[in-house]
Amino acid sequence: MAGLYPLAPFLALAGGFLLAACQWLILVYAPTEATLGLPQKIFYLHLPLAWWGLFSFFLVFIASGAYLASRKRFWDVLAGAAAEIGLALAALALISGAIWAKTSWGLWWTWDARLTTTLVMCFIYAGYLVVRGMDMQPDRRARIAAVLGIVAFLDVPLVFFSARLWSYIHPPSISLEPEMKHTLVACIASFALLWLGLLLFRWRLAQDAINLEETTKERLMRRE
Amino acid sequence: MLKAALLIASKDLRLTMGRGSGLLQALLLGLLLIFVFSLSLTPGQRMSAQGAAAIFWMASAFCQVLIFSTLYGLEEINGQRQGLVLAPSPAQGVWLGKALAGLCLLVASQTLFLPATIVFLGQEISDLWRLGLAIVIIGDIGIVAIGSLLGALSQGQSARESLLSIVLFPLLAPLFLGGIRIGSAVFSGKLSEGADGWFGIALAFDAIFVASALALFPSVYNAEE
């Protein structure tokens, strides 16, 4: 991860530029959907946000398991960074989805399986971040966060299936024209670069905060 | 492990019931919630079956937070937690003991919440009461499994009740949805399609969280304060 960090600014910038270029694909190259019209264009940002958000939570799960197995600080920091980015992306997916829902379904929110799952997921990971921010011994905090990171991800499929039984209007899949597919793949790939850049930045920031804390403690002990 | 669990559960139950205040606080909170929601009804009006079931489960959820906060708080005085950590039995025994004690207290509370829901929210128990009993048992097992795991998480923290609530409630969403749907059928007497699906989800929840609690509890409980 430390070896990858110098690439972070380039990845983030490349992701940003490519996403800007994707706007041309979205607005000009991809045809306008016949039934949903122009608001359907939100889909090209909504889907990458949701997918990368979910992938971030999966990374929290993997890093949490790896932390409990190895007790290496690296995994704990990675889980924290992934959770913050995942929460931000999932929240943006909810907001973009709500805007799209207002134009397509006529309401901002409905208790649909995917919407409910994403909202509950946001609450779960917000709670996870609250735990990470608690004032306690770092090793204990890391262990508790790792347990919560695993439990949280195990709950997600159950939330999805329960919400699906409750009500379901979000389309499970939609058929896309080839131009639409190309645009979607380009958007997902651009988001990948931006996501990796952000993850590296956030990981480095957390690592620097730990180093600063340890240096401060060391100096204070020397003075005593 | 089972012997240690039973010992811990009986110790916790004796301490909680002996003091009285621990369970009383949880009971009062649940009953107050049901009463406050009944104020939204005009005289003679009845709450919808789904609304009443949701209030019943919400009262149970808040009650459970206080129960596990009390149960894990018992060892906080004078660092007695270290005694349990050093005891010659697996840490999972503590989880199971607290879960069993929590289950007894939760069921005891719900036996009061149910009549309160019927009286204050104008509900009736239909012929589907067996289904209701089954979902309460399955739901309670899941609630105490995760409650006992995460109760240890909040140990020693200030404002542990609010911490437990924000972590637990979203995780319990699948159980609440199932409990509310089946509870609604019990109150209204009309069983909607997919009832077996709700039992499947609740049982899957129980299995996943009992297994993960058994695997993960030592990491939470043995961690230094």
> What's the ipTM?
0.80
3-state DSSP assignment of residue A133: coil
Whether the per-residue pLDDT at B221 is higher than 60: the answer is: yes
CB-CB under 8 Å, A150 with B204: no
Amino acid letter, B124: E
What pLDDT was estimated at residue B60? 93
Residue in B with minimal Cα distance to A71: B219
The predicted pLDDT at position A167 comes to: 62
Say whether A37 sits in a helix, a strand or coil: strand
Of A50, A73, A71, which Cα lies nearest the Cα of A214? A73
Taking an 8 Å cut-off on Cβ atoms, the answer to whether B209 and A151 are in contact is: yes
pLDDT digits (tens, 9 = 90+) for B115-136: 999 998 888 888 888 889 999 9
More confident residue, A35 or A142: A142
CA B70 to chain centroid, in Å, comes to: 13
The answer, yes or no, to whether residue A100 has pLDDT greater than 90, is no
A110 or A152: which leads in pLDDT:
A152
Looking at residue A78, what is its pLDDT? 93
Tokens representing A146?
């790792």
Q: Which residues contact B42 (CB under 8 A, 6 or more apart)?
A: none
Question: Cα separation of A31 and B88, whole Å?
Answer: 69
Answer whether A147 sits within 8 Å of B204, measured CB to CB: no
pLDDT at B109 over 90: yes
- Measure CB to CB from residue B212 to each of A143, A144, A154 and give the nearest one: A154
What per-residue confidence (pLDDT) applies to B63? 92
Q: Does B220 touch chain A (CB under 8 A)?
A: yes
User: What is the rounded CA–CA span in Å between residue A123 and residue B170?
Assistant: 6
User: Would the pLDDT of B143 be above 60?
Assistant: yes
Contacts of B194 in chain A (CB under 8 A): 165
Q: By C-alpha distance, which of B135, B148, B131, B134 is closest to B57?
A: B135
Interface touch A150/B212, C-beta < 8 Å: yes
Copy the structure tokens of residue A6: 């110098």
- The residue-averaged pLDDT of A102-117 equals 79
8 Å CB contact between A123 and A155: no
Whether chain A has a CB inside 8 Å of the CB on B207: the answer is: no
**Is A195 within 8 Å of A15 (Cβ atoms)?**
yes
The residue among A2, A145, A171 whose CA lies nearest residue A67 is A145
C-alpha to C-alpha distance for A207 and A199, rounded to whole angstroms: 12
* Percent of chain A surpassing pLDDT 90: 28
Q: Which of A19-33, B135-149, B187-201 has the highest mean pLDDT?
A: B135-149
pLDDT for B152-194, tens place per residue?
877 766 666 677 778 888 888 888 888 998 999 999 888 877 7
- Of the candidates B201, B102, B80, B221, the one whose C-alpha atom is nearest the C-alpha of residue B153 is B221
Please tell me the predicted confidence (pLDDT) of residue A172.
57
pLDDT digits (tens, 9 = 90+) for B11-51: 888 888 877 667 888 889 999 999 998 888 887 788 899 99
Domain residue ranges of chain B, discontinuous segments joined by +: 2-221
Query: Within an 8 Å CB–CB cutoff, is residue B219 touching chain A?
Result: yes
**What's the rounded mean pLDDT across residues A178-199?**
90
In one-letter notation, the amino acid at residue A77 is V
End-to-end CA distance of chain B, in Å?
24
Which backbone phi and psi does B20 adopt, to 5 degrees? 80, -40
Question: What mean pLDDT, rounded, does chain A reach?
Answer: 85
Which B positions 41-80 lie with beta carbon below 8 A of chain A? none
3-state secondary structure of A107: coil
Q: Which residue has the tokens 């002990």?
A: A221
Check whether B225 has a pLDDT greater than 60. no
Closest CB to B204 among A127, A128, A158:
A158
* pLDDT 10s digits, B60-73: 999 998 898 888 88
Q: Helix, strand or coil for residue A152? A: helix
Cα(B156)–Cα(B173) distance, integer angstroms: 26
- Based on the number of CB atoms within 10 Å of its own CB, is B69 exposed (0-12), middle (13-18) or buried (19 or more)? buried
In this structure, are residues B37 and B55 in contact, taking their beta carbons and an 8 Å threshold? yes
B128 closest CA partner among B64, B195, B81, B174 = B195
Over residues A128-181, the pLDDT tens digits come to 998 888 877 888 888 889 999 998 888 888 877 776 676 655 565 667 778 888
pLDDT tier at A60, thresholds 50, 70, 90: very high
